[in-house]
């Protein structure tokens, strides 16, 4: 894993990363997204330019940038067209992002699936239905087949199996897996 000190958007240059004061790390390039604790100047790049410069072929993109998600997708269009990565994207409600995302994804023949509950997740006609909160969405480079959903289901079960037993909050009260004495493996 390599950490890049850059923000992705639909342009290159510099920008201001607004540090969230709410504690959930919802830092953003967007002014007014969350109450600010401070600001940090950052290099801004597009995913397509980053891919070209570093000669990386991404298989999965995870976008959790608040209201700038459509800008990140716009800056990744060449990557999505050429390499067809799977995209997991948070879509904050009530910000008008859905129409922008659908307009960007439709020409690429991506399908969108609300990640909620157990897989499979059916394709949706629209990104965001009324009252759905702030879900994670899967943007798939075509319609996923049954084999994909079976693999997703197995991974989901494996991750859920890592939770501590009921009543055991784990270290520091968090929901963090930890090794059990005498068992030699993590739960």
Can you tell me whether residue 123 is helix, strand or coil? strand
118-159 pLDDT, tens digit per residue, is 899 999 999 976 666 668 999 999 999 999 999 999 998 998
Residue 129: what pLDDT? Answer: 64
Q: Is residue 81 within 8 Å of residue 54, measured between CB atoms?
A: no
Is 182's pLDDT higher than 60? no
Tokens of 18: 């607004």
Mean pLDDT score of the chain: 84
> Does pLDDT of 46 surpass 80?
yes
Average pLDDT over residues 154-177: 70
User: How many other β-carbons are positioned within 10 Å of the β-carbon of residue 97?
Assistant: 22
pLDDT at 151: 95
d(CA 84, CA 64): 19
Residue from 114, 116, 18, 124 nearest 66 by CA: 18
pLDDT tens track for 82-127:
999 999 999 987 778 899 999 999 999 999 999 988 899 999 999 9
The pTM score is: 0.80
> Does the pLDDT at position 184 exceed 50?
no
């Amino acid at each position: 894993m390599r950490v890049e000190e850059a923000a992705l958007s639909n342009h290159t240059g510099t920008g201001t990363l607004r540090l969230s004061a709410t504690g959930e790390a919802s830092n953003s390039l967007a002014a007014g997204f969350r109450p600010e604790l401070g600001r940090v100047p950052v290099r801004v790049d597009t995913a397509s330019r980053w891919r070209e410069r570093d000669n990386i072929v991404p298989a999965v993109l995870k976008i959790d940038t608040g209201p700038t998600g459509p800008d990140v997708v716009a800056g990744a269009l060449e990557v999505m067209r050429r390499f067809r990565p799977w995209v997991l994207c948070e879509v904050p409600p009530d910000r008008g992002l859905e129409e922008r995302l659908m307009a960007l994804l439709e020409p690429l023949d991506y399908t969108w699936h609300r990640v909620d509950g157990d897989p499979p997740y059916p394709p949706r006609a629209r990104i965001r239905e009324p009252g759905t909160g702030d879900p994670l969405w899967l943007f798939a480079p075509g319609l996923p087949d049954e084999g994909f959903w079976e693999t997703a289901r197995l991974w989901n079960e494996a991750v859920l199996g890592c939770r501590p037993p009921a009543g055991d909050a784990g270290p520091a009260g968090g929901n963090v897996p930890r090794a059990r004495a005498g068992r030699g493996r993590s739960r």
